[in-house]
Amino acid sequence: GQQLNQSPQSMFIQEGEDVSMNCTSSSIFNTWLWYKQDPGEGPVLLIALYKAGELTSNGRLTAQFGITRKDSFLNISASIPSDVGIYFCAGQDSGNTPLVFGKGTRLSVIA
């Protein structure tokens, strides 16, 4: 089945640093999404991307839909302690098909 390769698996950064993580796939997706999961909570949608090449921001977060439709990246600028959590990428083949999730990037922020 379809799989998403998300990297890095984990990262430790200093508060104030910028963060970059990415997701790649061997197959094409027509929608890319990024979710964040805090401890003890369910994932929360951060950014949704619907068009190849699209670059979208949400506050300090910026995500891009790769032009090949096989990858996406998420950047977080000027990290703060509340950025701690697990970030998941997800791809959707077409409308009404299930999301395929990456295995997540665990972010730790050192104050």
Partner 1 sequence: KAGVTQTPRYLIKTRGQQVTLSCSPISGHRSVSWYQQTPGQGLQFLFEYFSETQRNKGNFPGRFSGRQFSNSRSEMNVSTLELGDSALYLCASSFSSATGELFFGEGSRLTVL
The values of phi and psi at residue 6, to 5°, are -110, 135
Tell which one of 28, 45, 55, 110 touches partner 1 (CB under 8 A). Answer: 45
Q: Does 88 bind partner 1 (CB under 8 A)?
A: yes
Handedness of CA 7, 10, 11, 15 (dihedral sign): positive
For the record, the structure tokens of 55 come out as: 């670059």
In our burial notation (b when 16+ CB lie closer than 10 A, e otherwise), range 38-62 reads eeeeebeebbbbeebebebeeeebb
Q: Does 95 bind partner 1 (CB under 8 A)?
A: yes
- Nearer Cβ to partner 1 (19/47): 47
Tell which one of 53, 97, 108, 110 touches partner 1 (CB under 8 A). Answer: 97
- Nearer Cβ to partner 1 (25/31): 31
> Applying CB under 8 A, which part among 12-20, 35-43, 55-63, 64-72 lies near partner 1?
35-43
Distance CA 16, CA 52 (A): 30
Which residues 55-84 are close enough to bind partner 1 by CB under 8 A?
Answer: none
The values of phi and psi at residue 107, to 5°, are -105, 130
State the nearest-atom distance from the C-beta of 111 to partner 1, in Å: 26
Residues forming the site for partner 1 (CB under 8 A): 1, 31, 33, 35, 40-45, 48, 50, 88, 90, 92, 95-104
